Structure 1
Amino acid sequence: MTAANMETKTPSSNDLKNPMKDGNVNKEETMEIPKVIGTDYSYKHTIVWKNAIGFLIMHILALWGVGLLFAGYMKWQSLVWTFFIAFLSTEGVTIGAHRFYTHKSFKATPFLKAIFLLCQTIAGQNSMFIWCRDHRLHHRYSDTDGDPHNSKRGFFFCHIGWLMHKKHPYVIELGRKIDMSDLQADWMVMFQKKYYYHLYFLLAFLIPVWVPVHFFGEPVLHSILVVYFARYVLQLNGTWLVNSAAHLYGTRPYDAKLQPVESWFVSFISLGEGWHNYHHAFPWDYKAAELTMHFNQSASIIRFFERIGLAYDLKTASPELVTNRIIRTGDGSHYKMGTEEARAAVTAWGPLHPLNPTYNTTLKAPDAILKPEGLPLYHEKDTLNLTVIQKNSRRG
């Protein structure tokens, strides 16, 4: 069954029902995955209180740091340094972890790979190996119980709540099946995985905090609160918006059967990761967007790496492929090839953007119901073997 010919029947509640209500998984047993995977809303996630309390404390300390900034307690040199560290770590995730290591959208020299690993370590979002495994799982089983941050469970869960709960049993079982052989064969990735916490303490905490204290005369406490906690927590929330806002509030001009949406605001915050409906339609495109001149600095940086010989073999979807996808599966809201009827179903609020003038839409979000094979990760040709059954309702 191809992506252009998907069944629209809704599976029975028995098909979606999760047999493990308490969230406990016997690690020695292999769990049987059902015939279809959706979202079982009767399943209750188990809270991990140490994580929840930890995130609460981190946010309180981050707010303290933000207060110091607004009160003028930090020198401008320290502010520039903080933004520099935030930029490096953001691109370590956006370009390194996401577009390069997870989706293999281009190739890189060993030197550039090392830079990616160093910058991703500063971001403090777990090791490169674990980050990529979880993100590949997210794409393969997007917006179902097999997705670590399933947006069907609401904004709070897919934004931060998923990190405060035990993983759903399907996430654990399906995560074992994700192919990670390419990263396992990469000695630099495995080195970072083995020594991640040591590297994190050095690169994300010690050096960033030490520089303003040593060179700019900042008090140690102020440097910790601003350069570490405020920078780290604000950056985390920027990344989490890709999982939450970019899956909930916007339009689907490339594929109305996919939950992710286009959001210029998230793209602005995340240096190009908010054109999310396009990205899930073409996950192997290095641009992660149809266009690159609008809030997509990461794509420009990748092209810069290509010009100086550090990156090569950049993958991108041809204009013909994109056009066919828009016509075949889009919700009709595309800025150039959409329809007046579909645009009339869009409710614009907040600042407008010429290519993405809305956060919200009256078009109903699609159901996400997949067979165990899930969605393709790398190339459009994989959709020839796609075994997805999604129910799509374009209008509410």
Structure 2
Amino acid sequence: MSHEKSQSKYLNWTNILFFTINTSVSVVGTILLLMYGTIHSATWILAIITWFLFGMGGITVGYHRLFSHKTFKAKAPVRFILLLFGAGAFEGSALEWCTDHRDHHRYTDTDKDPYSIKGGFWYAHIGWIFTLDPSTRNYDNVKDLQDDWMCRFQHRFFVPIAILMAYLIPIAITCLWGSFWEGLLIAGLRIAALQQFTFCINSVCHMFGEKTYSTKQSARDNWFTALLTFGEGYHNFHHQFPLDYRNALRFYQFDPSKWTIYTLRCLGLASDLKRVSTAKRLRYKMQFDFNQIKAMKSNIGELVQPLYDKVSSQLLHIESLETAIKQLKKQNPFSANGKLSQYQAALSEKNQQLKAAHYELKYFIKSWNQVLANALRLNRKTALLDGVS
């Protein structure tokens, strides 16, 4: 495949020198400028704006949720602009970024994972970039993107586009208030910070945080990294449901990228927003909770098994009804012996069944949450007594 651990014997001096020089010069230069000069407030505002545009627009919404996972469709102008913003983040072309990321999801925590946490925190964070041999990329998993002329264009002319977006345009803007060096240093500082924030998803979110939907892989939810990456921190959810355009579900969870995509749809610039069904998500969540209960020292797992089976069966029933409704909607309304009324009756019946199933599910879920809370409370008491004894 395109990534093997043998790449650790290779040193990518282009990446090493760029990261080292850009980071050191921008950090030291900015400090010196603050000590012996001044940085206009307009320059800081420009840095924040480009951080949002290139970080949220280019990487999170563009490279990640649109091009890597295809969680939604976007109009051509939006796709083109997101590719420009992505180049401005200086994290490689869309083809490079997406082939690595798709391999990461397909081979998570294995030797074929390009930034596997099994290689250690440093390797997952940035070490893999320093040891990346570009010749190991074969792009077999991004042929769909290679068919897109915009992605091909951005890949072919990535360096000049990236320099234009990341450096030249910000410098040109700061020159309007007579400050070339402010534009250069703040642009470099923004690039360095944005790269480190992105890399935290590969390192921090695979080592620190909580697992909420699956323990089969190292991905974890980390609310702090979500603040730095425009919602990408809820990583356990993302690895379990990678085709969902959202990374966070709760109102208090920070995911502005989700709302950006939703806004694009409201403006007619995006469509086909994919989201995991509530029934499927709850089924995975319940399975995760039940596995936690079974791992406890007490025999609570045996006691709650009947309720777990009942709720799981109800969730599967809801999923089957949702699938049946989708299939009906795809049919020709006049296919039922040429009668529209029969089609409408069949669709109405399925919708009524689904509504009733959801109504019944509410009580099942309420009972399950009570059982889970009691089980966790009992487990804490048991652990406390064991510690005392």
Q: TM-score, normalised by structure 2?
A: 0.70
**Number of residue pairs matched?**
298
How many Å separate the matches in 1 of 2:379 and 2:182? 49
Q: Which has the higher contact order (CA 8 A, sep 6+)?
A: 1
CA RMSD of aligned residues (A): 2.7
Cα drift, residue 195 of structure 1: 1.2
1:130 to 83, 96, 119: 96
Cα–Cα, structure 1 residues 253 and 192, in superposed 2: closer, same or farther, change >3 Å?
Answer: same
Q: Which residue is 2:173 aligned to?
A: 211
Please identify which structure carries the higher helix content: 2
How many Å separate the matches in 1 of 2:261 and 2:202? 23
The answer to whether the 8 A contact 2:23-2:192 is kept is: yes
Q: TM-score, normalised by structure 1?
A: 0.69
SS of equivalent to 1:315: coil
Matches within 5 A, 1:175-190: 176=138, 178-190=140-152
Cα drift, residue 320 of structure 1: 1.3
Structure 2 gap ranges (5+): 294-367, 381-389
2:87 to 102, 109, 121: 121
Cα–Cα, structure 1 residues 327 and 179, in superposed 2: closer, same or farther, change >3 Å?
Answer: same
The answer to whether the 8 A contact 2:198-2:229 is kept is: yes
Cα drift, residue 230 of structure 1: 0.6
How many Å separate the matches in 2 of 1:292 and 1:199? 37
SS of equivalent to 1:180: helix
How many Å separate the matches in 2 of 1:296 and 1:158? 23
Matches within 5 A, 1:302-341: 302-329=261-288, 332=292
Structure 1 gap ranges (5+): 1-19, 25-43, 347-396
Cα drift, residue 118 of structure 1: 1.2
Cα–Cα, structure 1 residues 155 and 70, in superposed 2: closer, same or farther, change >3 Å?
Answer: farther
The C-alpha deviation readout for 1:139-187, integer Å capped at 9, x for no partner, is: 1111211111111111111111111114599xx3xx5374322111111
Q: Which residue is 2:225 aligned to?
A: 266
Cα–Cα, structure 1 residues 342 and 152, in superposed 2: closer, same or farther, change >3 Å?
Answer: farther
SS of equivalent to 1:179: helix
How many Å separate the matches in 1 of 2:15 and 2:283? 45
Cα–Cα, structure 1 residues 177 and 270, in superposed 2: closer, same or farther, change >3 Å?
Answer: closer
The C-alpha deviation readout for 1:244-275, integer Å capped at 9, x for no partner, is: 10111011111111210000000000000000
Cα–Cα, structure 1 residues 195 and 46, in superposed 2: closer, same or farther, change >3 Å?
Answer: closer
The answer to whether the 8 A contact 1:254-1:326 is kept is: yes
Cα drift, residue 57 of structure 1: 2.4
2:184 to 224, 238, 245: 224
Matches within 5 A, 1:1-396: 23=6, 45-49=9-13, 51-67=15-31, 71=35, 73-91=38-56, 92-167=58-133, 172=136, 176=138, 178-213=140-175, 215-218=176-179, 220-226=180-186, 228-291=187-250, 293-329=252-288, 332=292
The C-alpha deviation readout for 1:28-48, integer Å capped at 9, x for no partner, is: xxxxxxxxxxxxxxxx64444
Cα drift, residue 49 of structure 1: 4.7
SS of equivalent to 1:117: helix
| Sequence identity (%) | 32
Cα drift, residue 326 of structure 1: 1.0
How many Å separate the matches in 2 of 1:340 and 1:186? 53
Cα–Cα, structure 1 residues 343 and 303, in superposed 2: closer, same or farther, change >3 Å?
Answer: farther
Cα–Cα, structure 1 residues 224 and 343, in superposed 2: closer, same or farther, change >3 Å?
Answer: farther
How many Å separate the matches in 2 of 1:179 and 1:97? 15
SS of equivalent to 1:286: coil
**Structure exhibiting the larger radius of gyration computed from Cα positions:** 2
Cα drift, residue 128 of structure 1: 0.9
